[in-house]
């Protein structure tokens, strides 16, 4: 499990605004959020990966599941939840996973 090495790499995000942007952009904002959160995790934890590659590979069938699994395991560094639980929530009901991950990012950013 990765650990947070640089809390200042994380930026607080408004969950309400993210919901509005997700709806207004017909879901495209969700892809941006996924990339942005991956970039923050790469910069702020000891996990080493390319946020661009991970985001693009997550769009491919079957590979998307693997990279989503990796994303949720890396997000474990900023949340109080386990990576496997975040992954199941990400697959079954993504908004809950999004809420937990963004809340973790917000609390990590606030502690910087």
**Per-residue model confidence as pLDDT tens for the chain (112 residues):** 899 999 999 999 999 999 999 999 999 999 999 999 999 999 999 999 999 999 999 999 999 999 999 999 999 999 989 999 999 999 999 999 999 999 999 999 999 8
How high is the pLDDT of residue 112? 81
Rg (the chain; Cα; Å): 13
This prediction has a pTM of 0.94
Query: CB atoms < 10 A from the CB of 40, how many?
Result: 21
| DSSP tag of 9 | G
């Amino acid at each position: 499990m990765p650990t947070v090495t640089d809390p200042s790499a994380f930026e607080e995000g408004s969950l309400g605004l993210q919901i509005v942007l997700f709806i207004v952009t017909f879901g495209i904002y969700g892809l941006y959020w996924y990339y942005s959160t991956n970039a923050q995790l790469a910069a702020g934890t000891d996990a080493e990966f390319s946020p661009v590659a991970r985001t693009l590979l997550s769009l491919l069938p079957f590979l998307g599941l693997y990279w989503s699994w990796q994303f949720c395991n890396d997000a474990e560094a900023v949340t109080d939840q386990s990576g496997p639980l975040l992954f199941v929530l990400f697959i079954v009901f993504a908004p809950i996973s999004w809420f937990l991950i963004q809340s973790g990012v917000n609390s990590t950013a606030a502690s910087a």
